[in-house]
Amino acid sequence: MKSESNPSQWEEFDLVLAPARGWVPVQLRQLWEYRELLFFFVWRDVKVRYKQTILGAAWAILQPVFTMVVFSLFFGRLAKVPSDGLPYPIFAYAALVPWAFFSQGLIQAADSLVGSANLIKKVFFPRLLVPLAGVLAGIVDFCFAFVVLLGMMVYFHVWPTVNVLLLPAFLLLALVTALGVGLWLSALNVQFRDVRHTLNFVIQAWLFATPIAYPSSLLPEPWRSVYGLNPMAGVVEGFRWALLGAPPPGAMIWVSALAAIGILVSGAFYFSRMEKTFADTV
């Protein structure tokens, strides 16, 4: 029954499946082919997120607003933390909006594969779509929270400069960071459920390691640039600069961009390497 395995004999097939060893390339073309499914995953996540809640989409606003109130009271009023000359509430909120997008995206992405275990065991599609959709669905929440930010700017009479055109770039940076870390964590979570338990702690630590409650201008150069290794530092300072006219982030933003790309590329490769085992382990 055994047929001779000569390689030319396999050329007639559109697709050849064989065990892969070690590192494999990230299948970007395949991702593109499945873009419609990505759309449906995002659409589903957005639709389902606030079903059967009383406040519905208001949750997207309440979370950052509530944190802003707490920060304003304790850091702004009591601790008198400097805020680059801006009113403290808007200083904190302009950072909390991208932060909420990042942390929500990260939480969604990290749990996404385990949450879709049934799908992964029964249907083939590029697994990368799952964490990607988790992060992308957060853009809707971001938009709601952003409208409140615009309202606050009117209230505090803070007007954006022409730099506001760069705002999408900073949002993209937050997305790349969330996706990069999300890819690492979601793939690790398939094998080690410890990820789930460490995630809250990691996000909390990361929140304070990012200049949200305080300005990064507290640090002198070159330390401020080194601080950019936390990509969210670049995102947050970028938001404040583009929207509120805070001091420009300088070299820090380039460090952040490089760090984010590094995390994304390494995450994508690790994910692709582990991808083939997901259906067996999840």
Partner 1 sequence: MSNLAIRVDNVGKRFRIGVKEEQYRSLRTALTDAVTAPFRRAAAVMQGRASQASDEEIWALRNISFEIKKGEVVGIIGGNGAGKSTLLKILSRITEPSEGRIGINGRVGSLLEVGTGFHAELTGRENIHLNGAILGMRRAEIARKFDEIIAFAELDKFLDTPVKHYSSGMYMRLAFAVAAHLETEILIVDEVLAVGDAAFQKKCLGKMNTVAKAGRTVLFVSHNMGAIMQLCTKAIILDQGRLRNQGPCREVTKEYLASMVRQDKMDLRNEKRRSGDGRLRFVAAYLRDEKGERTELPVAGHAVDVVLEFEAQEELTQVQFMLTIFNHVGVAVTHCNMDAEGKRFRVPAGRGHVTCRIPKLPLPHGQYKISAVAADHIERLDSVPTACAFDVESSDFYTTSFMPAIEHSTALVEHSWSFSRPNGQH
Distance CA 154, CA 273 (A): 49
Q: Which tokens go with 107?
A: 């939480």
Q: Which of 191, 200, 204, 266 binds partner 1 (CB under 8 A)?
A: 191
Based on the shown chain and the rule CB under 8 A, indicate whether residue 80 belongs to the binding site for partner 1. no
Peptide bond into 222 cis (omega under 30): yes
Return the number of other C-beta atoms located less than 10 Å from residue 209's C-beta.
Answer: 12
Which residues fall within 8 angstroms of residue 82, CB to CB, at 6 or more apart?
214, 215, 217, 218
Residue whose pair of structure tokens reads 């697994």 in the numeric block: 127
Based on the shown chain and the rule CB under 8 A, indicate whether residue 125 belongs to the binding site for partner 1. yes
Distance CA 245, CA 156 (A): 13
Based on the shown chain and the rule CB under 8 A, indicate whether residue 40 belongs to the binding site for partner 1. yes
Based on the shown chain and the rule CB under 8 A, indicate whether residue 54 belongs to the binding site for partner 1. no
Q: 109, 106, 130: which is closest to 119 by C-alpha?
A: 130
Based on the shown chain and the rule CB under 8 A, indicate whether residue 55 belongs to the binding site for partner 1. no
Based on the shown chain and the rule CB under 8 A, indicate whether residue 193 belongs to the binding site for partner 1. yes
Q: Which of 23, 32, 47, 223 binds partner 1 (CB under 8 A)?
A: 47
Based on the shown chain and the rule CB under 8 A, indicate whether residue 123 belongs to the binding site for partner 1. yes
Based on the shown chain and the rule CB under 8 A, indicate whether residue 77 belongs to the binding site for partner 1. no
Q: Which of 36, 54, 80, 220 binds partner 1 (CB under 8 A)?
A: 36
Site for partner 1, rule CB under 8 A: 1-3, 5, 10, 12-20, 36-37, 39-40, 43-44, 47-48, 51-52, 118-125, 190-194, 276, 279-282
